[in-house]
A and B are shown apart, each in its own frame.
Chain A
């Protein structure tokens, strides 16, 4: 008895030691624990908030129920989801549940579906043109096309607003270019609400569709199409019967991911929806956060539920995609479709659209940042004061110097950059480690848990994610200021990094590392001398995407910054809300230039690029 127990103990000890001697196991265990704490725990605290009475208006509202601040309550659920009749003749459309929840939900769904459709149609068409036809200006198109994705999402929104706004609609205080230069006063539906929000989001995520669908098209074995050509199938029929079905899973996957992203978008609906009180879930949540935070947290929870459902759906779609990966071969000889006479017109049209979407906004921002009186675009009305001027108090726009001379702006820029670098280092490195652990132990339960957990933050709408970290930080004293922002950023962008980390590791045969292991190369040296150098560009993309995302992030940080002057994006938000258009446009341009510069520099120096990191 005693002996067998001893033997069992020794066996267990041996097995444990063997298990822990593998770095992949330790990494997975550490990340499992950390990710539980960083994603599941905050989620739990957030769910608790949905049934807790908060001080202020909530406390006053539940006083009649005999509850006070901190008590457990179903009031928020009751109020948000179960109040369709406020009494009186107002009817359902004026009830609390309708205004605060149903209408924003319907708006969200409408906007997200339309945006996804636009993204796929536009991105997919361009992907097809680039990979399958002999269209002209390919290089220009493919490099400029990802611009809107690299730029902050509100760029197009602000541009749209600046371009079309006029005194007749919304909170209209001034005329935009369209009204003042061309005298055309655009109708409200064109400038604010459903149409522009969907269009802008769709255009912003089109590059995403382009990258995903283009990737499949590029890897697709040309023999598949050639086999059909030999059988005398027409070009159109080949596209319809062979090409489309093969990219179908990628298109579905794109649809779902764009849908999820549009659903959680905050900046675009704020700029293009709020002036006409057009709310989606994210903007509604933000406005409720200050007054009825319990209801705001319920909206956040519902958004997360949507996200999870979409992920599960996407997983099913991409799993069934595997049946196609066997047919994606390496044959590089793709016979391009000749566009012949249509080539130049299509190419020129495409270039014009791209210039409108990617270049015109920048010009507009530059223009808007130098005019003194809104709507007057004559040279005499222009000044560089908003950039480099001094003693500007007479403008009454909050600042006395141009943004390039303002210590406030430089401090915010420095803080933003430091934050971006910190988040990127933390997320990127974690992504590599997660990728290593998951790839090495693939098939094990722990690996698939860590894999899912590391993707989980992607599903959390940024604003909701910020909200739950806000509620968590109130319980952890050291989680303040920079530490809080850096942590939330690192966790939120981990999915990008872990995607590229896993992709990079899966491409690498395990033997590459074992060949080093067998000669006694220690683990860290295997990582730094063998694994990292081989997959350098994919790994670095895992650093780049968090960095760029962080630089242009607004919704994640908007609830968490100590003051709105802390980082550039919230500063921009503040200027824009106060109507200080020139400063706002100048700062916006500054952000875009910095983001593009970072992207371009990293790309040139290391070969890493956004499209390598976005793998789905």
Chain B
């Protein structure tokens, strides 16, 4: 049963269009991330679903119940939507203790004291913050505050949980740890998560589906690995993956499912998975760094421009006839700068139409 449905949702601030005709179906028990650069409309979208922002047009329903419809004049307030919201800077009330922060919302739901105490303690245990019950938020570390905020959001048992960049204020190590816990929490609470982030790694690792947006327009809405392997356009391809995909301008002669590609002083033959829907000749060739293999038997020679070894992997910048390519080598290897190496293309590459930026074919590219 589909849980959250957005139909033709548009939000305008004066003349500025923040979200443009968005259609989205978020399935029950899904963990969705709204991904995009700042100002792309992802937070606005989240706030509209939660009821903190009023859309200009369109309709939104949660669990079969219409919570907003511009045409019918329906607009349920946030508290009638049975949702939870986790804010970026936690928004803990500084004048209340941890216990009071978690209990405050429940008091409003007219729960009796005993039930509130039980629920608060259950959550304190679940998030392993029992010992901080009587402390004030200012006496906690960032990570602990985050846990309190999560406990507060979970307390009334919302069916849907919205999170607005909840981990962006934490340091890298803690962020890793909280990601694991959020994923576990998603399973344990059995509810639908909608998560806003600008961090593609977070979107990749956490979600069941990624909704990527740019300037208010939905770009692609598929499971993360699929988005990574087959991005809909240049924007998505560029946004997903770190280090980013190599983009090389070139031309292609299309013959059915194959094409002769000339790019950056290189030549290759491209065998697509399906027919290539290219109108002109200008293309951008997209190759993931991990599909450039540095190997003594490689077909081409390149000079090492720089290396970034991290221990687990090394990012190598290559210079081939003036074109720069990024490659990733796994393991603790390093290459002297300006040394010569040989490389090859493995697995897939993607052809984008240079005029529209759209993905026209995915296939294998062999250097000639």
A, B from the same assembly: yes
Question: Which residues does A use to contact B, with CB under 8 Å?
Answer: 7, 10-11, 13-15, 17-18, 21, 509, 511-512, 514-522, 525, 529-530, 533-534
Question: Which residues does B use to contact A, with CB under 8 Å?
Answer: 50, 52, 54, 69-75, 77-80, 83-85, 87-89, 91-95, 104-106, 108-109, 152, 155-156
B75: chain A residues at CB < 8 Å are 14, 17-18, 21
Contact in complex: A517, B79 (CB < 8 Å):
yes
Least CB distance from B227 to A in Å reads 29
Contact in complex: B89, A511 (CB < 8 Å):
yes
B80: chain A residues at CB < 8 Å are 520
Contact in complex: B71, A533 (CB < 8 Å):
no
A521 with B73: in contact, given A514-B91, A530-B93 (CB under 8 Å)?
no
Contact in complex: B52, A518 (CB < 8 Å):
yes
A519: chain B residues at CB < 8 Å are 79, 104-106, 108-109, 155-156
B89: chain A residues at CB < 8 Å are 509, 511
Supply 19 A–B pairs (Cβ within 8 Å), ascending by A.
Answer: A7-B71, A11-B71, A14-B70, A17-B75, A509-B91, A511-B91, A514-B85, A515-B91, A515-B92, A516-B104, A516-B105, A517-B78, A517-B79, A518-B78, A518-B83, A519-B106, A520-B108, A521-B108, A533-B95
Contact in complex: A525, B85 (CB < 8 Å):
no
Least CB distance from B110 to A in Å reads 10
Residue of B79, B84, B94 most packed against chain A (CB within 10 A): B79
Least CB distance from B131 to A in Å reads 23
A514 with B79: in contact, given A14-B74, A520-B108, A530-B93 (CB under 8 Å)?
no
A517: chain B residues at CB < 8 Å are 52, 77-79
Least CB distance from A189 to B in Å reads 56
Which of B54, B79, B85, B106 lies in contact with A18, CB distance below 8 A? B54
B84: chain A residues at CB < 8 Å are 518
Given contact pairs A14-B74, A515-B93, A520-B78, enumerate 12 new A-B contacts (beta carbons under 8 Å).
A14-B72, A21-B75, A511-B89, A512-B91, A514-B87, A515-B91, A517-B77, A517-B78, A519-B155, A520-B108, A521-B105, A534-B95
A511 with B87: in contact, given A10-B73, A11-B70, A14-B74 (CB under 8 Å)?
yes
Least CB distance from B206 to A in Å reads 21
How distant is the Cα of A425 from the Cα of B104 in the complex, in angstroms? 28
How distant is the Cα of A515 from the Cα of B105 in the complex, in angstroms? 9
**Helix, strand, loop or mixed for chain B's interface?**
loop
Contact in complex: A534, B94 (CB < 8 Å):
yes
Contact in complex: A515, B85 (CB < 8 Å):
yes
How distant is the Cα of A54 from the Cα of B293 in the complex, in angstroms? 97
Contact in complex: B152, A10 (CB < 8 Å):
no
Which of A21, A516, A520 lies in contact with B109, CB distance below 8 A? A520
How distant is the Cα of A300 from the Cα of B136 in the complex, in angstroms? 53
A511 with B88: in contact, given A17-B75, A519-B79 (CB under 8 Å)?
yes
How distant is the Cα of A7 from the Cα of B106 in the complex, in angstroms? 39
B71: chain A residues at CB < 8 Å are 7, 10-11, 14
How distant is the Cα of A587 from the Cα of B95 in the complex, in angstroms? 43
B79: chain A residues at CB < 8 Å are 517-521
Q: Name the CB-closest residue of A to B51.
A: A518
Least CB distance from A380 to B in Å reads 60
A516: chain B residues at CB < 8 Å are 93, 104-105
How distant is the Cα of A517 from the Cα of B78 in the complex, in angstroms? 7
Residue of A17, A21, A518 most packed against chain B (CB within 10 A): A518
How distant is the Cα of A17 from the Cα of B72 in the complex, in angstroms? 12
How distant is the Cα of A15 from the Cα of B54 in the complex, in angstroms? 9
Q: Name the CB-closest residue of A to B83.
A: A518
A520 with B105: in contact, given A14-B73, A514-B85 (CB under 8 Å)?
yes
Q: Name the CB-closest residue of B to A443.
A: B13
Least CB distance from B192 to A in Å reads 15
Contact in complex: A515, B152 (CB < 8 Å):
yes
Residue of A7, A13, A17, A515 most packed against chain B (CB within 10 A): A515
A21: chain B residues at CB < 8 Å are 75, 77
Least CB distance from B47 to A in Å reads 8
A518 with B72: in contact, given A511-B87, A512-B93 (CB under 8 Å)?
no
A534: chain B residues at CB < 8 Å are 93-95
